[in-house]
Amino acid sequence: MSLDRTAICNYFLSLQDLIVSKLEKEDEKKFHVDSWERVAGGGGRTKVLLDGSTFEKAGVNFSDVSGEFSEEFAKQIPGDGRAFTACGISLVLHPKNPFVPTVHANFRYLTRGNRAWFGGGVDLTPYYPFREDVIAFHKVWHKACTTHSDVADYDKLKSWCDEYFHLPHRNEPRGVGGIFFDYLDKNLDQVWSFVQECGNSFLSSYLPIVQKRKTQFFSEAHKEFQEYRRGRYVEFNLLYDRGTIFGLKTGGRIESILMSLPLKVRWLYDYQPTIGSKEAELYEIYLKPRDWAREV
């Protein structure tokens, strides 16, 4: 089956609109919208909210670009020739309340020569985790995969996520994971159905957590720990994230590429959490890969 690239891009555009509309209702503040064009080909639409009541910074980006890879970067990408197309949606939501986790998701469709594939994923980065929230998040993604088990092996995609969102220089995961996939190029029609399932599942995986935790009292110490842990987010996105690297290597729009970075962040020297504290619990229990979807 030959996929309709226009239909794929239109779905990602409509998903951006849906997610932003729900987030605006949650925050009671409007996103700023930037529509942009790329000199090398294509363009996109970036929607960003700053300093809202719920989100300190939230970005939901759509892009539909084309161009040519450099000879060096082309060696790292499947397919023939240097011409490529890429369309997709990416989002990162940084909440104000430290008891609400940061979340990231992206879904994309790429072509190069005679090759076409999907990539994407979603992962949760809590600062003060709640067991029931982590389990509920993972169960949504377990269901999305098992609904499309012919092309989406949950255990594989969950492990792939744990391996991908890992900071090797810290020997530490970024958060509690989710699912991750790339270069899915077999049975593309079925993979496309799976990608739509993922896109349609995002809000149900995250908004209930926001609604439960966004009014919880927090202290300045809680906020400082959140900003410290956000440093890990910055380190991963600038050093290892494939989307960031792809955007920079292909002459992407810098403001859109770096929208994932938090508004406020801090790096402390040789920080060690107090034994028995909630901060220590994050390291001892949650920053270790675990089969959360099968827990009760």
> How many Cβ atoms sit within 10 Å of the Cβ of residue 239?
12
* Alpha helices (runs of H) in the chain, residue ranges in sequence order: 5-27, 71-74, 131-147, 154-164, 188-213, 220-239, 242-249, 254-257, 278-281
d(CA 133, CA 210): 10
3-state secondary structure of 38: coil
Compute the Cα dihedral for 257, 260, 264, 270 and give only its sign.
Answer: negative
State pLDDT tens for residues 23-55: 999 999 999 999 999 888 999 999 999 999 999
Kindly tell me if the per-residue pLDDT of 1 is higher than 80: no
Nearest to 194 by CA among 136, 155, 147, 159: 147
State pLDDT tens for residues 230-248: 999 999 999 998 889 888 8
* Enzyme catalytic residues: 104
Task: Give the per-residue pLDDT at 53.
Answer: 97
Provide the CA 167 distance to its chain's centre, in angstroms.
Answer: 16
> Residues of the chain with pLDDT > 90: what percent?
84
**pTM for the structure as a whole:** 0.95
**Phi, psi (degrees; rounded to nearest 5) at 266:** -145, 150
- The C-alpha angle with vertex 221 and arms to 219 and 227, in degrees rounded to 5, equals 110
Domains of the chain, earliest start first: 5-294 (3.40.1500.10)
1, 189 in Cβ contact below 8 A? Answer: yes
In this structure, what token pair is assigned to residue 136?
A: 């509920």
In this structure, what token pair is assigned to residue 146?
A: 């098992």
- Rg over alpha carbons for the chain, rounded to the nearest Å, is 19
d(CA 243, CA 68): 16
Task: Give the per-residue pLDDT at 257.
Answer: 86
176, 129 in Cβ contact below 8 A? Answer: yes
Q: How far is CA 238 from CA 129, 172, 235, 242, 257, in A?
A: 25, 16, 5, 9, 10
State pLDDT tens for residues 100-115: 999 999 999 999 988 9
